[in-house]
Amino acid sequence: MIFPCIDLMGGKVVQLVQGRTKALEAESPDAMLRLFAAFPEIQVIDLDAAMGSGENAALVEAIAAKAVCRVGGGVRTAVRARRLLDLGAHRVIVGTSAFTGDGINAPLLADIAAAVTPDRVIIALDSRDGRIVVKGWTEATSFTAEDVVSQLEPYCSGFLCTYVDKEGTMQGTDLDWFRRLRAATSHEITAAGGVASLDEVKALQAMQVHVALGMAIYTGRIALADLAALLSPVVKS
């Protein structure tokens, strides 16, 4: 599966470099949905909610009413997870709150899984310099995605794995990291961060890894028509 991304900030569709610097503003969400019509599911991240600086609930609801979406941003409670599903999300993405300083936040993840079922939960594993990073990628933990991925399996149906070192730079991603993650779990994996060519997309698909794409399609580096031609279900190994 290939997931085009819609990242929301201040009521607009944006793309950031490494979660910090705004690189571009795109067309309206409706315009982007028309461009992404060939794709069965899209990824929506409310960056304001993720950063604790507001939210874009009305936009999330409007998008989710028109397309199948996996939605993340500020999912810190079971109530928030349930609310996103009520707004129309197909699945919710849990990031920072999935972790503590020492490892996984099992009590919270159990609460979220109980509220929405593990099938509706994706856990974000964002990695920079080899370590999981949290709080909008501003704080590094002491552990790696490979350290915790098996412990997280009971609480979710898949993982969104972002190679933050190259996020938004279109300099290519770390295929070896995704190979290690693929070997570490039987759950669904979605790769993000730095993917900049059709060859990389094909390499990830060959690993049985999904791909979430933002900057590469917003800048035209990878053509939507070429991506649509690759659409086919990815079966977990």
Q: Which residues are known to be catalytic?
A: 7, 126
Residues 140, 68: Cα–Cα separation, whole Å: 32
d(CA 24, CA 58): 22
SS3 212: strand
| Cβ-Cβ contacts under 8 Å for 53 (sequence gap 6 or more) | none
> How many Å apart are CA 67 and CA 61, to the nearest integer?
10
Question: For 80-87, which contacts have Cβ atoms below 8 Å and span 24 or more sequence positions?
Answer: 81/112, 81/115, 81/116, 81/120, 81/121, 82/115, 82/116, 84/60, 85/116, 85/120, 87/57, 87/60, 87/61
Q: How far apart are CA 16 and CA 48, in angstroms?
A: 12
CA–CA–CA angle 96, 114, 187 (5° rounding):
65
Instruction: Quote the tokens at residue 126.
Output: 């964002």
The owner of tokens 């399609």 is 217
